[in-house]
Amino acid sequence: MAEITYLEAIRQGIWEEMERDSKVFCLGEDIGVYGGAFKITKGMLERFGEERIVDTPIAESAIVGAAIGASFAGMRPVAEMQFSDFITCAFDQIVNFAAKTRYRWNAPAPLVVRAPSGGGIHGGPYHSQNPEAWFVRTPGLKVVEPATAYDAKGLIKSAIRDNDPVIFFEHKKLYRAIKGEVPEGDYTVPLGKARLHREGKHIAVITYGAMVHVAAEAAEVLDREGVSLEILDLRTLLPLDEEAILASVKKCSRVLVFHEDTLTGGVGGEISARISEKAFEWLDAPVVRLAAPDTPVPFSPPLEEAFLPNAAKVIEKARWLAGY
């Protein structure tokens, strides 16, 4: 098994799906000759041709709209947003067309919208956002964000094969920073299932995406203090794996809900509310949330650093929880 990057894992996943099923095709800006802004589709134009690697005009709404229309005609479109920050330009198509079409008139829209998200790359307000909460609020969508290379490949394959619209967030910071053993052939990771990233005893950290690794960094430090973190990597944010969440909560009785997105209205609120509602008696301390502060993502390094959650902030919250 080869060690490959998170980026390469996604690329492999899409590639294999395109080999497997001629109905799968990609569309987006600069994904052809250029191979995509992040090179996810590198080499695909040569292999699959212009009709399956479709370079589009700058028109996110049309990209998603066309994906929906193609899916009606039996295709399996994988639409790329160049940055997840531009997904707002396709918002109506996603939340009103794609999300509701199965429910309304039994017309499934099996498509994937891929969206590179997240900060830490000095991208400023429009190349750093984590927009997942908007979609988690929208029944009919599935929302996925892998944290590891293995999951990235397995989840993109499941997303492509899924019969509902999937918004697939890829954390830009992980693209080249994270490597892992990834089988070359076919395997899938199921949507809707969380993964225990690290077993622990005292505090359940419920998180996803890049923050899984930040939590793990904190866990190493806290271990030395005798505080043992359990880290649950949600992987799918809609539908949430409530069973796995409650299992970790009931085991640890102290919970930190943790994401890179801003606090208010973030996915953390939903998770916290479910925990309160369904595991109230198991809680030995308040469910604590850690997230970015409620501001746009600033550009300048000292500001961005202060903005992003990090291991030190996890440690601070965990210590507080442990001492409660």
Partner 1 sequence: MAAMKPVGPVLVQGATAPSENEGDLSLKQEEIARRGHYFMALQREVEDRIERKLYRQGKILGGVYVGRGQEAICVGAGLVSEQEDWLYPCHRDLGLYLVRGVTPREIFAQYMGRVGGLTRGREGNMHMGDLKRRIVAIISAMAASVPVATGTAMALKFQRSRNIVFNIFGDGATSRGDWHEGLNLASVQKAPVVFICNNNQYAYSTPLEKQMACEHVADRAVGYGMPGEIVDGNDVMAVYRAVKRAADRARAGEGPSLVECKTFRMTGHSAHDGGDYVPDHLWTEWGEKCPIVRIERVMLERGWTTREELEQVHARIKREADEAIEWAENSPYPDASTLTEDVYEGSR
Ligand X SMILES: Cc1ncc(C[n+]2csc(CCOP(=O)(O)OP(=O)(O)O)c2C)c(N)n1
Residue in the structure block whose two tokens are 């600033």: 298
Report CA-CA distances (Å) from 308 to 115, 218, 242, 292, 312. Answer: 19, 15, 26, 6, 11
DSSP 73-132: TT-EEEEE-SSGGGGGGGHHIIIIIITTHHHHHS-----EEEEEE-SSSS-GGGSS--TH
CB contact at 8 A, 67 and 111:
yes
Interface region with its own copies, contact rule CB under 8 A, candidates 7-15, 198-206, 209-217, 285-293: 285-293
Residues of this chain, 189-228, that bind ligand X according to CB under 6 A: none
Query: What's the rounded Cα separation, in Å, for the pair 292 and 286?
Result: 19
Residues of this chain, 91-110, that bind its own copies according to CB under 8 A = 91-92, 95-96, 99-100, 103-104
| Contact of residue 108 among ligand X, partner 1, its own copies, none (CB under 5-8 Å per partner type) | partner 1
Binding partner at 228 among partner 1, ligand X, its own copies, none, C-beta below 5 to 8 Å by kind:
none
Strands (E), 118-161: 142-144
Among partner 1, ligand X, its own copies, none, partner that 287 touches (CB below 5 to 8 angstroms by kind):
its own copies
Q: Is 122 a catalytic residue?
A: no
Per-residue binding letters, 49-88, with ligand X (x by CB under 6 A): ---------x-x---------------------x---x--
* Residue with smallest beta-carbon separation from ligand X: 86
Interface with its own copies, residue 136, by CB under 8 A: yes
The Cα–Cα gap between 117 and 146 comes to 11
How many chain residues touch ligand X (CB under 6 A)?
6
Nearest to partner 1 of 265, 300 (CB atom)? 300
> 273 or 303: whose CB is closer to partner 1?
303
Using CB distances below 5 to 8 A depending on partner kind, what does residue 267 bind out of ligand X, its own copies, partner 1, none? its own copies
Choose from its own copies, ligand X, partner 1, none: what does 262 bind? Cβ within 5-8 Å by kind: its own copies
Q: Binding residue for its own copies (CB under 8 A) from 89, 177, 246, 247?
A: 89
> Smallest distance from the beta carbon of 306 to ligand X, in angstroms?
26
**262 Cβ contact partners less than 8 Å away, ≥ 6 residues apart:** 130, 291, 292, 293, 294, 295
Quote the CA–CA distance of 195 and 169 in Å, as a whole number: 17
**Phi, psi at 29, each rounded to 5°:** -90, 130
Say what angle helices 311-322 and 211-224 make with each other, to 10 degrees.
Answer: 50
* Residue 283 near ligand X by CB under 6 A: no
Number of Cβ within a 10 Å radius of residue 152: 33
Does 29 interact with ligand X (rule: CB under 6 A)? yes
- Tally Cβ neighbours within 10 Å of residue 323: 8
Encode burial over 284-313: b for 16+ CB neighbours within 10 A, e otherwise: ebebbbbbbeeeebbeeeeebeebbbbbeb
Query: Quick one: 186 or 305, whose CB is closer to partner 1?
Result: 305
Residues that bind ligand X (CB under 6 A): 29, 58, 60, 82, 86, 89
Q: Which residues are catalytic?
A: 127
Residues that bind its own copies (CB under 8 A): 85-86, 88-89, 91-92, 95-96, 99-100, 103-104, 125-126, 133-134, 136-140, 238, 240, 257, 262, 264-278, 280, 283, 285-289, 294-296
